[in-house]
């Protein structure tokens, strides 16, 4: 597994530069990494790619 510093992190397109609540996500071969964009020194969450897809699909289907 790559070190967090080696991953290609990206923020949501909904993120603004005004310090709002946001996460960063990085894709790896079989996993997805998620971390707090305001404090990238803290450990993040790692989940299987299929679990992440299910979560994002559920969130999109139930968004406001």
pLDDT band at 50 (very low <50, low <70, confident <90, very high): very high
Grouping H, G, I as helix, E, B as strand and the rest as coil, residue 52 is helix
Residue 3: pLDDT above 80? no
The three-point CA angle 26-32-38 to 5° equals: 50
CB 33 within 8 A of CB 7: yes
Higher per-residue confidence, 46 vs 13:
46
| Strand partners of residue 25 | 10, 34
The per-residue pLDDT for 12 is 75
Residue 1: pLDDT above 60? no
The per-residue pLDDT for range 14-49, each reduced to its tens digit, is 766 666 678 899 999 899 999 988 888 888 899 999
CA distance 58 to 10: 21
Reference 52, options 18, 21, 28; nearest CA is: 28
The per-residue pLDDT for 51 is 96
């Amino acid at each position: 597994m790559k070190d967090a510093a080696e991953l290609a992190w990206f923020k949501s397109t909904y993120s603004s530069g005004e310090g709002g609540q946001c996460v960063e996500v990085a894709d790896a071969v079989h996993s997805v990494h998620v971390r707090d964009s305001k404090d990238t020194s803290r450990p993040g969450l790692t989940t299987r790619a299929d679990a992440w897809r299910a979560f994002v699909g559920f969130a999109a289907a139930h968004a406001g």
